[in-house]
Amino acid sequence: MNTALSESVSETALNFDVLPHDVEEFREAVKEFARNVVQPRVQELDQKPAAHFDWDLVGHGHRIGLTRAAVPKKYGGLGVGMLGVATALEEVAAVCPGTALIFGATLLGQAPVLLSGDPRLQARFLPLFSGDEPVLACNAVTEEDAGCDLIIPSQAEHARNVTTARRDGDDYVLTGRKRFITNAKVAAFASVFATMEGSRGATGLTSFIVPLDLPGVVRGPVADKMGYRACLGSELEFHDVRVPAEYMVGAEGEGMAINMAQSNMARAAVAGISTGVARSALEQAVAWCGERVQGGRPLKDQQFTAAKLAGMAAKVDAARLLYLRAADKVDNELPPPVYEPAAAKLFADRTAIDVAETALSLLGARGYLRSYGLEKTMRDALGTRIYEGTPEVLALAVTESLYAEQDEW
């Protein structure tokens, strides 16, 4: 595999307080989009029926580059790498993490193509994101009976009922069903992971790029989720879908390595989303404690409250520093590292929940009301633990890295 995710890599160490110019410029554009376009629609996006999707909002994001941030410039993208993506997604997630995930899931759908270094695949699929109209992608890994078994190599042989692929002339024929796939209902194509027919479990896992208008593809109903309601999660069914052999990423059986690489890449960006959720809770708490008077003094001036706010702020800053370091590593190392992205997501996910919970304790009954917005933040915070690695999976990745380092000693 070969990739060059970032085209703004500095020869010196990254200064986390001064981002590269193109990354900072993009982040500012995204911040304006989040405040002026997303913020006024937040409650509507959260309370609409599950299948509602705001293409107008996506169009605004597309025009500033959110659908093509990691795509190289030669294919019409921005080329700001994972550093640009992660900082941008924090800005969107601080307003609406569901909207952030629409664009994050599109990046994940692009990931195998970006990682492949295959000029044919890249020339075929990456320019789709630079047109006038927004195009979205999705990444189809999870099965009804297999999730972690598809991302932990030692468990691959135990995976059950995995989508299968078999070679038939110039095509591969895919059969199976994927679940909990963000953007599946609205994506133009999916990066699909299927095991070669006859392989045990997921030991023959192979990656394919599948246009979702091919005969035999069925998009299932939209899931009615607890949070992240601005993005759509649904099933994808493959009924003897014929995929041209040139749409395979890498070679047969290389899907596990590609899946692990894309996860390590994406976790830095997802940690940015989690940090945005935590930041939203912190900002709501700071605003409330600055105006609420109790015992004759604003809450912020009371020692117990100040301790809570300080702890929340420190956690948010720490989460941001961890994901910035992880994103910088992803942009400069091949294959993408395991430890830094896993540690960043593990910490940021927990931070989102802890900060939201503390903010709720500070706002009290008001925080429990929909009109204040914090209850939505609390629901969204819980969602960060599920996708791109649960805490348990991330802990395994971090621990394995620690022991790998020990072996090198």
Active-site residue list: 388
Question: Would you state the structure tokens that stand for residue 322, as one six-digit string?
Answer: 């961890």
Q: 2: burial class by Cβ within 10 Å (0-12, 13-18, 19+)? A: exposed
Q: Distance (Å, rounded) from C-alpha 195 to C-alpha 190?
A: 16
Pair 131, 311: CB distance under 8 Å: no
Task: Return the SS3 of 293.
Answer: strand
Distance of alpha carbon 88 from the chain centroid? 12
If phi > 0 it is left, if psi is from -120 to 50 it is alpha, else beta; for residue 250 that is left
Q: What is the DSSP letter of 38?
A: I
Tell me the two tokens of residue 208.
């394919």
269 contacts 85 by C-beta, under 8 angstroms: yes
Burial per residue of 93-104, b for 16 or more beta-carbon CB atoms within 10 angstroms, e otherwise = bbbbbbbbbbbb
- Tokens representing 64 are 């500033």
Q: Could you tell me the two tokens for 148?
A: 């972690």
> DSSP class of residue 249?
E
Q: Print the SS3 string covering 351-391.
A: HHHHHHHHHHHHHHHHHHCHHHCHHHHHHHHHHCCCCCCCH
At position 143, the amino acid (one-letter code) is E
List of residues 6+ apart from 181 with CB closer than 8 A: 138, 139, 140, 142, 190, 233, 234, 235, 236
Interatomic CA distance for residues 224 and 292, integer angstroms: 36
Strand partners, 208: 192, 248
Q: How many beta carbons lie within 10 A of that of residue 21, not counting itself?
A: 9
Q: What is the DSSP letter of 251?
A: S
Q: Which amino acid is at 340?
A: E
Residue 355: closest CA among 394, 325, 315, 296: 315
